[in-house]
Chain A
Amino acid sequence: MTYLLEARGLTRKFGGVVALDNLDLAVVPNEIIGLIGPNGSGKTTFFNVVTGIYGAHGGSITFDGADITRASSPAVYHAGISRTFQRSRLSLPLSIFDNIMIGNHKRLNQGLWFNLIRRGEFKREFEANYGAARTLVEVFEPQLAERMFEPVGGLPMIDRRRIEICRALINQPKLLLLDEPSAGMTHDETKELMDDILQVRDLNRNLTIIVVEHEMGVIERITERCVVLNFGRKIAEGPYRQVAVDRQVQEAYLGVE
């Protein structure tokens, strides 16, 4: 079978610390895969290496048949990978609409002439995108759709998360990287958010998701398969129920040697 994303022997060091140690990880299209492991086990680093924020010190990443090991962040995005961040990275002074449009970069006409002179066409493009953004937001929270031009700075955490996910989804990526979507939210909020995500996925069948999570409830509910990392190494792989009882995994979490 062909993988959507495949990492082979991926390695990344920070000074002496080995954050990713010769990691193999493969994702098949349309699956939701959970990436779990104790703090500092390299989950976020994996995202950062995939999205080209950090370079890899070894190994390779192929996405959708193309080698993206050395690709820059923008290139990775254009290839069809979107992500969210552990610490929310919205542009707080900007409106909901603007933040979502940032995620829509590749589908917006960036020409100077178009933007400055052909305002008629620009308006049409703007209206179309406004519609799209609004529909997407409505899936998550209809009330937000009424406040598209308010700064996100004034919104509660859950709404910010929603917008961040909208920003990642608006360009209809092939692969979505969710970095601790539950961070800073209550159980119920998290649950709500996950339902929304699944709902979006129902709309867009061929969306593949990798989610990094500490909330095992979330992992259990939404993932079909998880990969467990420890010290940048893969120590277990399989359905949640299976890895959850794995002795190595438990030791890793309990920190037993």
Chain B
Amino acid sequence: MSRIARQLSFIFASALFVGALVATAQAKDKVKVGFIGPLTGGVSANGLGGRNSADLAVKLRNADAKAKYEYELVVLDDECKPNVAVQVATKMAADKEIVAAATHYCSATAIATVDVYHKFGFPIIVWGAVLPDITYRAKYAEVHRVNGTMINQNDANAELISKIGFKNVAVIHDTTDYGKGHNEYFSKAFAKLGGKIVGTFGVTADQQDFTAELTQIKALNPEVIYFGGLTPIGVRIRSQMDKLGIKAVFDGTSGIVSDAFIQGLGPLAEGSLAFREGAPTEKLPRGKFFMENYAAQKYDNPPEAYGAFSFAAMDLILDSIEKVGPDRKKVIEELANVKERDSIVGKVTFDDHGQNTVAAITKYVVQDGKFVEWDDSEYATGKRKLPGQR
């Protein structure tokens, strides 16, 4: 027994030693920045993609000889749960060494934590959550967001739908704030354009079977099924539409703009619509650069829809720190006057709420297993037709 004890205490001692080494290895000009996202649970794919992208931004910056500081990325997991989010947010904000952070994919976690960031005067840039309230409920200098809100998204969505000439839409949304918000704003926008919502169905995020809802929808026989929710159930709903022989256009939100959606459906994904804030990454000069470097890093998850935003957010933070030094107050001031700033998601301009107002919305349609920008798709040119498209 005592031998075991000795061994273990040895391990312990050496652990302490290593710890000490790491501690002493810290150079003077080291600066900590943070990332928070869902690394476990149902939407962890997006969280991991976002983390990798932020990590990439830091790596590239550290590789850059001109950089004034050496950056260390602190990553925390909000599990897409508000209570956990409040905890980790407090942890990060309370850690004086961390200057700023790119935070949150899930709206519920972002909305729960903004007060924490404000309380601690901790500058953050939301990289994925789309609920308007996050920036607009209160006027917090600390809180920014590179991606647009779901309002812009749904305006664009409704516009395209009615432009194509669809009049009757059935809505399915998950009962999280994300889905409910989308339902609300899309229905408003579509009604304004004279469209008709023939039915609205809330579904729970862990639901597997949608045949009951879809059968009802089939009876209502809409031209379009609008889906406000994330990839996992998006995939299920689309494939079950097929099971029931429903021939309607599947019209998704930013939540399904992910490689996972296409992998999950294969050919069935063809002709699905989706919308995402920001200019299409691959079209921007630095976007290509991002894609290439991401690939070079051999991460085991793709960046997913919001990886680019996470990268952009982190880049903005690093730029600011380079400019004004590792000081929260200064960084906040600096972020306040971000105007017309080029990024891999297009120009970024923060309004007085820290919201990026350059809400370039990209319209996507799935064509041959890829998310193709609508305007360059064969659907726009009329070469191919969506079901029911004139």
Q: Do chains A and B touch in the complex (CB under 8 A)?
A: no
